[in-house]
Amino acid sequence: MLLVLSRVSLAFQSLRKVSARRWHHTSLINDLINNMDKKATWDRFYTENSKKGNFKNFEWFFGFPSVKDYILPLLQSMSDTPAPLHVLDIGCGTSALGPGIYTHSQCAVKVTCADISPVAVRLMQEHAESTPVQPCNPASTLFFREMDCTELEGHFKPRSLSLIVDKGTTDALVRSKEGQAKAGQIVQQCLTVLRCSGSLLQFSDEDPDARLLWLENECQNSEAAADVSVHEVGELRGVTYFCYQITPYTAQH
């Protein structure tokens, strides 16, 4: 994976706007750029951000409206039983992505928003309790959990999840000093806990010529066979974003 500093800079445009008022210059931003695989870094970020007072979702790359047309039809196509589909948002931070799926999915979903930072999880839980919303499907549920997403097998049964969404989490890991191995572990874990024909969606600004090769190599190292494909999401603030879809399948595929 290539460390593309110009793209990292663009990804932090919104973060700089937040930072300018409270952290003034570069301390926290430099910490994030260099140590995005560290729990303590994100605890610091969410703690500092929460000191401003009113809760506000922080969106890495873009918000739920930009990708709802990828996620909601995919869930609808998987809804072949009355049981809720289990959806996992890994590295959720304080993004509205998971709550958006919960709110707008017409089929029943059990959405778990997971992050390694207990600060982020607490903020999301408190916000959900203070501003409750009604989902499209009354059988849908929403949960927030502190979780290391390199260890999904310790939290979910094999072949139990229908959809895993990753909006910037893998990008944060592969751009940190020691995070690429963790990013590979997450892919391996996702392939273990996803049901056959379920999907991992990675939303990223990394070009397909780099990300596809890496994903294909990770899938080859997994016990589960998987298809890998890519779709262009579109351009936002001068950056082109992609949706990488990884779908495990049986040997009879």
In the chain, pLDDT over 70 holds for what percent of residues? Answer: 86
What is the β-pairing status of strands 85-90 and 239-249? Answer: unpaired
Residue-level pLDDT at 26? 57
Residue-level pLDDT at 38? 87
Name which residue leads in pLDDT, 150 or 81: 150
Would you state the CATH architecture of domain 64-248?
Answer: 3-Layer(aba) Sandwich (3.40)
In 3D space, the residue among 38, 37, 193 whose CA is nearest the CA of residue 112 turns out to be: 193
Residue 158 confidence (pLDDT) above 90: yes
* Exposed e or buried b per residue across 128-137, where buried means at least 16 C-beta atoms within 10 angstroms of its C-beta: beeeeeebeb
Mean pLDDT calculated for residue range 166-193: 90
Q: In the structure, what pLDDT confidence band is assigned to residue 50 with cuts at 50, 70 and 90? A: confident
Q: In the structure, what pLDDT confidence band is assigned to residue 17 with cuts at 50, 70 and 90? A: very low
**32-41, 46-55, 144-153: which is most confident:** 144-153
In the chain, pLDDT over 90 holds for what percent of residues? Answer: 65
Residue-level pLDDT at 170? 93
In 3D space, the residue among 141, 148, 140, 83 whose CA is nearest the CA of residue 114 turns out to be: 148
CATH 3.40.50.150 domain extents, the chain: 64-248
